[in-house]
């Protein structure tokens, strides 16, 4: 599976949560892949909701959001999020613009959570750089947080 998200905005998400730590390119790449997997899974769930209701368009509510935030507030670009949403759903579904923005907002909030924990893990390891292994460790430990 190729990564659809550009690494620069993902790197920005990690940096804004890293409190002055450096960020390896591998960490940004790993988080981009994590966001993509999460986004594709959320789109599958949203498509199931739309199908249950007899719709072919995924709407904001299918992603559990009342209304999307402003696009200007987001670091993640909408076009790649649209491609991520379509990775695992049939071509017969459309994704409304508001649904794309809502999905981007959810994924960005999730990425913020991952970045905060990854920075804590880097500090715990007495490193000044957030690495890909910190993202992987979050993924391994996440079931223990929920």
C-beta atoms surrounding 59 within 10 Å: 18
- CA quadruple 132, 117, 112, 48: dihedral positive or negative? positive
Instruction: Please state the pTM of the whole predicted model.
Output: 0.93
pLDDT digits (tens, 9 = 90+) for 96-128: 999 999 999 999 999 999 999 999 999 999 999
Q: Which CATH architecture group holds 7-141?
A: Orthogonal Bundle (1.10)
User: pLDDT value at position 66?
Assistant: 87
What is the spatial distance between Cα 85 and Cα 42, in angstroms, rounded to a whole number? Answer: 8
User: Of all residues in the chain, what percent carry a pLDDT higher than 90?
Assistant: 84
| Torsion, CA 6, CA 12, CA 14, CA 19, rounded to 10 | 170
Per-domain residue ranges for the chain? 7-141
User: pLDDT value at position 144?
Assistant: 63
User: pLDDT value at position 23?
Assistant: 97
User: pLDDT value at position 143?
Assistant: 65
What is the spatial distance between Cα 51 and Cα 54, in angstroms, rounded to a whole number? Answer: 5
């Amino acid at each position: 599976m190729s990564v659809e998200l550009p690494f620069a905005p993902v790197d920005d998400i990690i940096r804004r949560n890293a409190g002055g730590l450096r960020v390896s390119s591998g960490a940004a790449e790993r988080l981009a892949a994590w966001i993509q997997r999460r986004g594709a899974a959320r789109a599958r769930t949203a498509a199931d909701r739309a199908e249950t209701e007899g719709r072919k368009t995924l709407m904001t509510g299918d992603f559990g959001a009342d209304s999307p935030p402003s696009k200007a507030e987001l670091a993640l670009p909408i076009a790649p999020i649209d491609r991520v949403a379509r990775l695992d759903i049939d071509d017969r579904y459309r994704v409304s613009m508001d649904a794309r923005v809502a999905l981007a907002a959810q994924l960005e909030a999730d990425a913020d959570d991952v970045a905060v924990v990854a920075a804590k893990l880097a500090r715990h390891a007495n490193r000044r750089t957030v690495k890909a292994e910190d993202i992987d460790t979050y993924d391994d430990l996440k079931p223990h947080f929920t």
